[in-house]
Structure 1
């Protein structure tokens, strides 16, 4: 446990309205219990999410369905070996929109191996992480002609049906009493940036893991289960405040047959540039009940060349000339996100009523999406008789790039087929989701789910889709 951080406040600061918040933020008590970020109802992929007052934990603290296996894992943990084996299935059934009764099913079996090299050979502060998954199933959104970031079952994707897929393998080195951490290896961007264990409370792909307009907005924002070579540096100047920056390879063909949908292709021949994200975050707590919040702002630059959405090589509307699109150098992405616990229902970092909100912006000239907004409420332990149950409701809205829409209108007026499976110029898509995770027994949750998709594929000529779903998560 780290020693308390002492910061003498000036007379003005002591009298100012923000002094109590600063004092709480910088106190030892404020961070003592918030250790080890891990989404309670999702596959264990959020290891590096900076949502607690420590860097990457050695291995996720999870429940196990089988006590004998759990006891074995705990004994292995003491020796420096962490293993997590989990299973997630997601099923959905449409209620209307022309295909009532249509169903979709997808699953993932994940195996995670974490090694603490301090305990193994005495290499202090060095830990390695690796995850492989098996994925299979079908995304029901495709049945409705929706090729946008919407997906009823978020567990499907990233290569689709794969027997064994390498998600990541990387190492983290803590330095200067854990104030600085360096990560190097083959890893996704979204385990570090614009990440939250609250996101995968939900089943729709537009939010789980990270707001998907970032992933779809720039190829450089690699997301689980895809990964590229990269490095990330995170620095904690004091408890509850961090700054981090990364450098990752950009692979537009990640998780495709053209590259290697199994994740075991370590070649860089299809890399097109570098992705450089920077994020600053504040994690305050307020009051006697330690109501924790997570606030972050990030910006990233993708150095790759991308086709312009509107102009051709002669800077004329490409929809009219039908010449090759102009190639634009670089994309910029911005995200501002936050969540705040309003009511505490227990001792853990997720035990309480949270509100969460955020906005993402992409470069409209070469990205399919311009903005994504979201707002949600997550409440874990609100029912005293069911302290490990979780309720969530969220609304997300994504808007199409104005330049892309202008090109689509020109094509549509001339009767030319539109890309991205669109049958009408795109505008925006909204997702409403309500979900309830039932803690059945240690290591097992069952989660009924409801989703309403408005303007599927961002098209106003498509009727809204109502669907019910079921998510099952089990940790051996």
Structure 2
């Protein structure tokens, strides 16, 4: 946005220093749903420092990456008592309202002509697993970064801006084919005052286990126009202990007996995701019409969600006169765990008002639909009007559907 800064940054790049400062705001206005006229504003100010140590001191293939953010504002979804993975402003996620938050600090080492890469440090899982550069085209929190049923389904899946100590290794078997695996600490108190509101707590004293994701991926490029796609399948295991959401230690419904919910050992998650460029609009990596879809799965007995499915289209550069504008449509549906639904119905039939899972009525599913258009105003500045419709906020059918208008502003120095 600032030409002098841009020229200075290019000079720094030549010496192996990459520095990015940006500001993102997301505002949303509810049109109905019982809170017509309610609005929320949230923002993030981010600073990223990337260092190429080969250029700096000759350490071949080694780079380090650091990000810190400031986040503040109001989460509009709380006005509707929606504590699920849905949120009108994804930028508020990860705690919100924190002066300075260390997102990550880690290093990567390339080996064997970049066929193998090892990373280690304090980092989120989602920078490497189950992610897509297309997800944050959208403003709703359900899919930005990763399908949020993963991080909401297991504490081990740390997602931006939360991070834990971990390591990841990626191996490119053939051109376009890779496999990768990781090992991360599990911190149930991530982004909370109980442990690490600011991300600067480097201790592991509250870790409860390890999160082990594995993913295989295929990145093809079809035809003379190089229509690129991204396809991936992943499985992960969280070794931590979690409370069962239905049974007590005697194998009976805890909501009926009044006994404590039993402990279970470990969680398994899966994801299958894909996107494919159908029409190329330019030679940038995202300049074209993409179709995307995916599915995630969580264990039902010790988590709030069972599955999430989503589909959408993203079109960047659909108008020749507007090559950097981006249009997107996305639909997502997330299902409550069958076990937690059974518990909630028992509690509801007993006349209990506050149910398991932060619910006031037995949950079923939440569904979102979003239409968005990102307008590139000038270098470093974009404005993005947005429309969202939410069915069954907080996965409850007794809550009214919500229509909301949004506006996202992004500036990069």
TM above 0.5, yes or no, is: yes
Over aligned residue pairs, what C-alpha RMSD do you find?
A: 0.6
| Aligned match of 2:139 | 203
| Aligned match of 1:312 | 248
| Aligned match of 2:369 | 432
Q: How does 1:69-468 map to 2 (within 5 A)?
A: 69-416=5-352, 417-468=354-405
* Structure 2: gaps spanning 5 or more residues: none
- Work out whether residues 106 and 135 of structure 1, in 8 Å CA contact, stay in contact via their aligned partners in 2: yes
Deviation of the 1:447 alpha carbon: 0.1
Deviation of the 1:322 alpha carbon: 1.1
The CA deviation string for residues 351-397 of structure 1, in whole angstroms up to 9 with x for no partner, is 00000000000000001000000001000001111111000000000
State the SS of the aligned residue for 1:190.
helix
Structure-2 separation of matches of 1:335 and 1:162: 31
Deviation of the 1:348 alpha carbon: 1.1
Structure-1 separation of matches of 2:145 and 2:363: 25
Structure-1 separation of matches of 2:358 and 2:181: 36
- Work out whether residues 146 and 456 of structure 1, in 8 Å CA contact, stay in contact via their aligned partners in 2: yes
| Aligned match of 1:470 | 407
The CA deviation string for residues 313-332 of structure 1, in whole angstroms up to 9 with x for no partner, is 11110000111111110000
Structure-2 separation of matches of 1:176 and 1:127: 16
State the SS of the aligned residue for 1:155.
helix
Structure-1 separation of matches of 2:222 and 2:200: 45
How many residues align structurally?
412
Mean Cα deviation higher: 122-131 or 156-165: 156-165
> Structure 2-normalised TM-score?
0.99
Deviation of the 1:415 alpha carbon: 0.6
- Work out whether residues 159 and 262 of structure 1, in 8 Å CA contact, stay in contact via their aligned partners in 2: no
Deviation of the 1:103 alpha carbon: 0.1
Task: Please list every run of at least 4 consecutive aligned residues from structure 1 whose deviation after the TM superposition is greater than 6 angstroms.
Answer: none
Structure-1 separation of matches of 2:20 and 2:400: 41
Q: Which has the higher strand share?
A: 2
Deviation of the 1:67 alpha carbon: 1.2
Deviation of the 1:246 alpha carbon: 0.1
Deviation of the 1:234 alpha carbon: 0.4
Deviation of the 1:237 alpha carbon: 1.3
Counterpart pick for 2:4 among 51, 68, 75? 68
Deviation of the 1:66 alpha carbon: 1.1
Structure-2 separation of matches of 1:257 and 1:314: 34
- Work out whether residues 280 and 288 of structure 2, in 8 Å CA contact, stay in contact via their aligned partners in 1: yes
- Work out whether residues 443 and 475 of structure 1, in 8 Å CA contact, stay in contact via their aligned partners in 2: yes
State the SS of the aligned residue for 2:64.
strand
Deviation of the 1:452 alpha carbon: 0.3
> Structure 1-normalised TM-score?
0.86
Deviation of the 1:421 alpha carbon: 3.2
Deviation of the 1:414 alpha carbon: 0.2
The CA deviation string for residues 277-335 of structure 1, in whole angstroms up to 9 with x for no partner, is 00000000111111110000000000000000110011110000111111110000000
